């Protein structure tokens, strides 16, 4: 059987995975720029190159994410909500709740035992509680976003961050710094603030015992710990969690191929 590709064009990154027998055999991650059509092509090209796969071996391409309609060479487009649900269910079959924290929005998705969406809630009105909030605050403290999770875990006296608005939080961070607060303690406060917002979103769809954390912010170990502490439950995270939407998209393509939709 031919391979299936899933391409997730998010607000900040383009992700592509290639599936063979429901296993990820290649992946790529690129920043998204102004030319989404080109970013989607580049995501597929990079993933194919990584595993030396010829384009002709791919029988089905599914697009997801907010930029999915720009993937002109795909056969199917699916919402990222369904794709995160299916991807999380493939990697962690016991998943009943997904929290996806990406660059510009956060989604809580309740999932059936077959990986179908039962209910969802999302925050896409502003950057509060999203990766953007952490990116801006990391920048205000002079850190790269990849550094802030591990640093937050070294906090000894976490500060309370009361602003949920990204702009106000940035100035709150600056004022904590000028009062001599340890950046690690400020970071811990920022992570708790996002965990609190995520918990409210999860409560809107109903807390379930097995939770899977997806999206780029799941790469942040401080966020994983903070969320798990607020939930009072462990959360599933995989090194492929940022690719979960692309994985779900590819999986739906694989099912079409099995059903005889080979191109």
12/174 with CB nearer ligand ADP: 12
**Residue 61: CB minimum distance to ligand ADP, A:** 18
**Residue 109: CB minimum distance to ligand ADP, A:** 14
* Cα-based distances in Å from 74 to 5, 20, 56, 58, 249: 9, 18, 14, 11, 11
Whether 151 and 138 have beta carbons less than 8 Å apart is answered as no
59/197 with CB nearer ligand ADP: 197
d(CA 124, CA 136): 17
Whether 71 and 49 have beta carbons less than 8 Å apart is answered as no
Q: Give contact residues for ligand ADP (rule: CB under 6 A).
A: 10-13, 102-104, 131-132, 134-135, 145-146, 149, 215-217, 219-220, 242
62/220 with CB nearer ligand ADP: 220
d(CA 4, CA 22): 9
The encoded tokens of residue 160 equal 């309370």
150/209 with CB nearer ligand ADP: 150
The encoded tokens of residue 147 equal 């550094």
């Amino acid at each position: 059987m031919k391979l299936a590709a899933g391409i997730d064009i998010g607000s900040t990154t383009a992700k592509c995975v290639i599936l063979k027998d429901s296993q990820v055999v290649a992946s790529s991650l690129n920043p998204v720029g102004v030319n989404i059509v080109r970013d989607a092509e580049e995501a597929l090209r990079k993933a194919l190159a990584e595993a030396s796969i010829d384009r002709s071996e791919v029988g089905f391409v599914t697009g997801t994410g907010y930029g999915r309609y720009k993937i002109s060479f795909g056969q199917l487009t699916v919402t990222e909500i369904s794709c995160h649900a299916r991807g999380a269910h493939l990697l962690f079959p016991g998943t009943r709740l997904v929290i996806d924290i990406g660059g510009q929005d956060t989604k809580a998705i309740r999932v059936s035992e077959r990986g179908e969406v039962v209910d969802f809630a999302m925050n896409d009105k502003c950057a509060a509680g999203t990766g953007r909030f952490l990116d801006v605050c990391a920048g205000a403290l002079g850190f790269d976003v990849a550094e802030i999770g591990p640093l937050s875990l070294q906090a000894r006296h976490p500060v309370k961050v009361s602003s949920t608005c990204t702009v106000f939080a940035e100035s709150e961070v600056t004022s904590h710094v000028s009062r001599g607060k340890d950046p690690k303690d400020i970071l811990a406060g920022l992570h708790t603030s996002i965990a609190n917002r995520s918990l409210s979103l999860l409560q809107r769809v109903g807390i379930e015992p097995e939770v899977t954390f997806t999206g780029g912010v799941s790469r942040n170990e401080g966020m994983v710990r903070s969320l798990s502490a607020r939930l009072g439950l462990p959360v599933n995270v995989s090194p492929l969690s940022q690719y979960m939407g692309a994985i779900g998209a590819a999986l739906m393509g694989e099912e079409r191929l099995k059903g005889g939709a080979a191109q």
